Every structure is written in C-alpha cells, then in structure tokens.
C-alpha cells in the first residue's frame, strides 16, 4: 500500500473537518505538540494529571460495561491490515450470514443478565445495503426494548442511513479513525480518512452519540500516536465514547509480526486520551486478554471507565465475565 504524504494529508484533513455541518469554524483545542508533551511526561506525573482530570469529571470507582456481538462475520471487502475479517487475507474467520433476530436477542439477554448496560452490534461490511440496514434497525428496536443502550458498527454510512438508525432507537454509532492521518495509508487503502470523518459527521448530524477511537501498537511512532489523539480531541465535538484498542495480532493478516507495544505505553495513551477528552468515556477494548490485572488496574486509574465485557470481541478473545467481576471486586469498582 502507498503511504499517504504525511504533511499534505495531515493539513488537508484539518482543513476539511475544521467546520461543523452548519459551516461554522471550529477552533483546534489541542495541538499535536501539546499532546506529544503529555506523552513525554514522566509516568507518575502523567498518571497524576490524568487521574485528577478523571476525578473532576467521573466517579473514579465506576466502570461502564458494554458487550459486543458480531452480527455479520467475515467476508469484508476492505483491506484493513489488522483485521481477520477481511476477505483478502487467509485467516480462520469464515464468511457467515447475518444472525437472525432471535440469536441477537438471546445474546442481548445474556449480556444484560451479566451486568452489561450497552449492547453493541458489529457487522463486517464496507457499508450496509438497505436490506441489511432494515434488519439492523429491527435488532436495535428489539434490544432497546430490553432497557439496554444500543450501539452499532456497520462501516461507512451513506446520506439518510444514520437518520434511519436514530429513528430505530440507536444510541451510539462506532466508527474508529484507527490511527493518525500520516500512517493511515499504510494500514488501509480501500477507504480514505475523509470517508471516516464523513461518516462521523453523518452520525453527529443525526443526533446519535459518537463512539470513535483507534488502535495502538500498529507500529506507529510516538508522533503518530499523538496524531491519533489530536484527531479525536479536535473533532467538532469529542466522541462520547473513545475505545482505545491494543492491536490483537492474528495469523494471516499483514499486521502479524508487528513489534508488540509496551503495556506502559498503552497506559500512557489511556492517560493522554483522558486529559484531552475529559468528559468522554474512555474504553478498554481489544487487547485486554493479554493485559494482567495490574496493567488493567493502572488503566482504570489513568482514566479508563468503560470496557467491553464478555468472552469474545467480534472474532478475538476477551477476558471472561467471572474474571472481570473478580477484578472489579478486588479493586472496589462498581459497574454502571
């Protein structure tokens, strides 16, 4: 894949998203230099600053629980280098049809009984067709009837699709930026950074809460990691939910063999996200299965206050429910 020119693309993205849907200019709140300075603080100073920010905005002993279900697995036409669901890579993930409503409702009930308050539905699509969207709308309305918050991640949305999801009762839409603009072309070539920003604009215009984060451990530099946070923190409105994923390496994907990220650098990313987006929920997402309890405890101290809860994230592992409950008990954390 051809790497995007870092300077020209970086400037273009800022220019294109420096206006709201109404055309009003948006002042940048965080510069890349200021974010880089946060990353370069001593570990204790950074955690102190992050935890202080966290306490000013949230109960530091509460964590929101979400469960993620893959409602359509595999066969995706995109070429995201980290994703085992891409049809372009030889992985063990098979292309399966969309689940029926009964299967989804059974999974939602199990999630609710386990303590999850938000149910997220993910589909391996570049963009949903109308017939697919109609099925998802039924799922959203049905899960909503259980008293749970609903979230969906279905790929890029076209004009009018976000409004349909809003009408069905969708609370959150997840669409990650993945990484910084300057690294993006090394990670995916089948959709542009602007495509992602356009979908976020459609979600926001439809008055759906935005869930948007990225992946660390893709081989990015510290400057590129700061660039991801810069993009997220300077959206016209910061995302209500910010999932920070640690790359889960899967055999058969191009990202396999990437030098693993130091877990303390992952904690630094959580801390910087908390400082720059003080009122957003910061979620521990993919990668928790390789983190020991001490690292997860540090993540909560640094400002993470949401997790994906359950035994599987789409197609990769996740700590099981009982293990999470035990950890919460040991840390004196309650779920919300």
pLDDT digit string (tens) for 177-228? 999 999 999 988 898 999 999 999 999 999 999 999 999 999 999 999 999 9
Spacing of C-alpha 99 from chain mean position: 22
Whether the predicted pLDDT of 21 surpasses 60:
no
From residue 137, how far is each of 32, 85, 119, 241 by CA, in Å? 39, 23, 14, 21
For the record, the structure tokens of 12 come out as 């273009």
Q: How far is residue 148's CA from residue 140's CA, in Å, rounded to a whole number?
A: 10
How many helices (H) and strands (E) the chain has is answered by 12, 12
Q: Is 131 a catalytic residue?
A: no
Whether the predicted pLDDT of 4 surpasses 80:
no
Please report which confidence band the pLDDT of residue 2 belongs to, taking 50, 70 and 90 as the band edges. Answer: very low
In this prediction the pTM is: 0.86
Whole-number pLDDT of residue 244: 96
Whether the predicted pLDDT of 8 surpasses 50:
no
Please report which confidence band the pLDDT of residue 311 belongs to, taking 50, 70 and 90 as the band edges. Answer: low
Q: How far is residue 171's CA from residue 179's CA, in Å, rounded to a whole number?
A: 24
Q: Is 225 a catalytic residue?
A: no
Q: Is 212 a catalytic residue?
A: no
pLDDT one-digit tens code per residue, 114-172: 888 999 999 988 889 999 999 999 999 999 999 999 999 999 999 999 999 999 999 99
Q: How far is residue 137's CA from residue 164's CA, in Å, rounded to a whole number?
A: 8
Give me the domains of the chain, ranges plus CATH numbers.
30-335 (3.20.20.70)
Q: How far is residue 283's CA from residue 264's CA, in Å, rounded to a whole number?
A: 16
From the list 120, 196, 212, 288, the catalytic residue is 120
From the list 225, 268, 283, 288, the catalytic residue is 283
Q: Is 76 a catalytic residue?
A: yes
DSSP string for residues in 99-165:
PPHHHHHHHHHHHHHTT-SEEEEEE--SS--HHHHHHHHHHHHHHHTTT-EEEEE-S---TTHHHHH
As a whole number, the mean pLDDT across the chain is: 87
Please report which confidence band the pLDDT of residue 255 belongs to, taking 50, 70 and 90 as the band edges. Answer: confident
Q: With H, G, I as helix, E, B as strand and everything else as coil, classify residue 179.
A: coil
């Amino acid at each position: 894949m051809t790497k995007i020119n870092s300077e020209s693309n970086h400037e273009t993205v800022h220019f294109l998203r420096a206006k709201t849907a109404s055309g009003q200019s948006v002042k940048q709140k965080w510069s890349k230099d200021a974010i880089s300075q946060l990353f370069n603080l001593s570990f204790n100073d950074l955690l102190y600053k992050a935890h202080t920010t966290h306490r000013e905005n949230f109960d530091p002993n509460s964590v929101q629980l979400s469960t993620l279900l893959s409602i359509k697995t595999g066969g995706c036409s995109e070429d995201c280098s980290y994703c085992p669901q891409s049809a372009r890579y030889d992985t063990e993930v098979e292309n399966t049809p969309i689940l029926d409503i009964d299967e989804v409702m059974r999974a939602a009930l199990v999630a609710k009984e386990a303590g999850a308050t938000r149910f997220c539905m993910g589909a391996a699509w570049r963009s949903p067709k109308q017939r697919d969207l109609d099925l998802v709308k039924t799922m959203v309305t049905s899960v909503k009837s259980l008293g749970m918050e609903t979230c969906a991640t279905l790929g890029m949305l076209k004009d009018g699709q976000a409004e349909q999801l809003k009408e069905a009762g969708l609370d959150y839409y997840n669409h990650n930026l993945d990484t910084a603009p300057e690294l993006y072309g090394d990670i995916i070539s089948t959709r542009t950074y602007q495509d992602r920003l356009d979908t976020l604009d459609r979600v926001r215009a439809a008055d759906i809460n935005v869930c948007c984060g990225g992946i660390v451990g893709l081989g990015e530099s510290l400057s590129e990691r700061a660039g991801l946070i810069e993009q997220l923190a300077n959206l016209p409105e910061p995302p209500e939910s910010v999932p920070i994923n640690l790359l889960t390496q899967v055999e058969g994907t191009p990202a396999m063999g990437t030098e693993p990220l130091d877990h303390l650098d992952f904690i630094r990313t959580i801390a910087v996200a908390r400082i720059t987006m003080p009122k957003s929920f910061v979620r521990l997402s993919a990668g928790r299965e390789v983190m020991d309890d001490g690292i997860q405890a540090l993540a909560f101290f640094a400002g993470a206050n949401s997790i994906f809860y359950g035994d599987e994230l789409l197609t990769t592992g996740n700590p099981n429910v009982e293990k999470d409950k035990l950890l919460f008990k040991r840390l004196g954390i309650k779920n919300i």
